[in-house]
């Protein structure tokens, strides 16, 4: 199978931009998935192919955050398998739950997150983490499972949900929250990708082509987040959130 140069450049451009954003606050699927659909790829093949490229992106950005020490190793050892298992079940049940129901719920949740972050100017500016409690882990584990399930089932905004969870519940700043979020997103991507490959819903050449560009974008995006800190991550988080909300409302009304 061969691809035209224009197709390769198309995948490379949108893959790079998607991964650059996704590596920090999530939401890259807002860009990469419509790009794949724009090539005429059927929805379920586009979802699986996007997971392949997204896994490359999340693996790259996760490695960058880990190498720079911007993550919590102990917490990730607890929550990584939770996110993985949640996404596995999410991908397995994608055919049985009406996506319109999930879209409506996600719009409401994203709107709450956006308003909360916008009104709380100091939110995520400094780390207030003082250790784990029964409350934080007791709530964090099922929420991580649910976010992982959502990623396996649908996906857009998963990284943003993970970042918000890390900042609000555990008290990390946006940079550490982003590092933890990328690692948890890697877990959910790996699980969902495995299911899509098993079901034959991945176009490998297309996914790998976009994935190479995502590798570069993810590395640069993660480095930018670590270097510039909260003053870069917070406004980007707000921008991606409002774009996600707008896009999903549009699709819910006009699709």
Place of tokens 């939110």: 123
Residue 191 has pLDDT above 80, yes or no: yes
pLDDT number for residue 213:
94
Residue 103 has pLDDT above 90, yes or no: no
Higher pLDDT, 221 or 212: 212
The arithmetic mean of pLDDT across residues 226-251, rounded, is: 75
What tokens does 143 get?
């929420």
Q: What 3 state SS string does the chain have?
A: CCCCHHHHHHHHHHHHHHHHHHHHHCCCHHHHHHHHHHCCCCHHHHHHHHHHHHHHHHHHHHHHHHHCCCCCHHHHHHHHHHHHHHHHHHHHCCCCCCHHHHHHHHHHHHHHHHHHHHHCCCCCCCCCCCCCCHHHHHHHHHHHHHHHHHHHHCCCCHHHHHHHHHHHCCCCCHHHHHHHHHHHHHHHHHHHHHHHHHCCCCCHHHHHHHHHHHHHHHHHHHHHHHHHCHHHHHHHHHHHHHHHHHHHHHHHHHC
How far apart CA 214 and CA 210 sit, in angstroms, is 6
- CB 209, CB 3: distance < 8 Å: yes
pLDDT number for residue 17:
87
Domain that holds residue 51: 5-254
User: Each residue of 35-93: pLDDT tens digit?
Assistant: 888 888 887 788 889 899 999 999 999 999 999 999 999 999 999 999 999 999 988 88
CA atoms within 13 A on the CB side of 207: 20
How far apart CA 99 and CA 186 sit, in angstroms, is 23
The arithmetic mean of pLDDT across residues 198-213, rounded, is: 92
Rounded to the nearest integer, the mean pLDDT of the chain is: 83
State how many domains the chain has: 1
User: Each residue of 104-154: pLDDT tens digit?
Assistant: 766 776 677 677 667 766 655 666 667 788 888 999 999 999 999 988 877
Note the pTM of the prediction, 2 decimals. 0.83
Rg from Cα positions in the chain: 17
Residue 2 has pLDDT above 70, yes or no: no
Output the CA torsion sign for 153, 206, 160, 103.
Answer: negative
User: What does the CA dihedral 148, 227, 77, 191 come to, rounded to 10 degrees?
Assistant: 30
pLDDT number for residue 39:
86
């Amino acid at each position: 199978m061969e691809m035209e140069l224009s197709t390769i450049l198309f995948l490379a451009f949108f893959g790079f931009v998607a991964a650059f954003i996704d590596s920090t606050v999530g939401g890259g699927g807002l860009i990469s998935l419509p790009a794949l659909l724009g090539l005429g790829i059927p929805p379920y093949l586009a979802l699986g192919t996007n997971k392949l490229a997204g896994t490359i992106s999340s693996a790259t950005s996760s490695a960058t955050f880990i190498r720079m020490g911007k993550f919590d190793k102990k917490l990730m050892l607890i929550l990584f398998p939770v996110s993985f298992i949640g996404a596995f079940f999410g991908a397995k049940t994608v055919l049985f739950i009406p996506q319109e129901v999930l879209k409506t719920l996600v719009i409401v949740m994203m709107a709450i997150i956006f308003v909360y972050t916008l009104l709380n100017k100091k939110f995520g500016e400094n780390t207030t983490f003082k250790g784990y409690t029964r409350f934080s882990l007791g709530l964090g584990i099922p929420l991580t499972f649910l976010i992982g399930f959502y990623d396996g089932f649908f996906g857009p905004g998963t990284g943003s949900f993970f970042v918000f969870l890390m900042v609000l519940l555990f008290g990390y700043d946006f940079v550490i929250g982003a590092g933890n979020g990328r690692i948890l997103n890697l877990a959910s991507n790996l699980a969902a990708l495995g299911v899509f490959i098993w079901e034959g819903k991945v176009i490998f050449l297309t996914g790998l082509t976009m994935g190479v560009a995502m590798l570069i974008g993810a590395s640069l995006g993660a480095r930018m987040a670590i270097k510039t800190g909260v003053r870069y991550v917070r406004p980007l988080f707000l921008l991606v959130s409002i774009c996600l909300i707008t896009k999903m409302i549009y699709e819910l009304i006009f699709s």
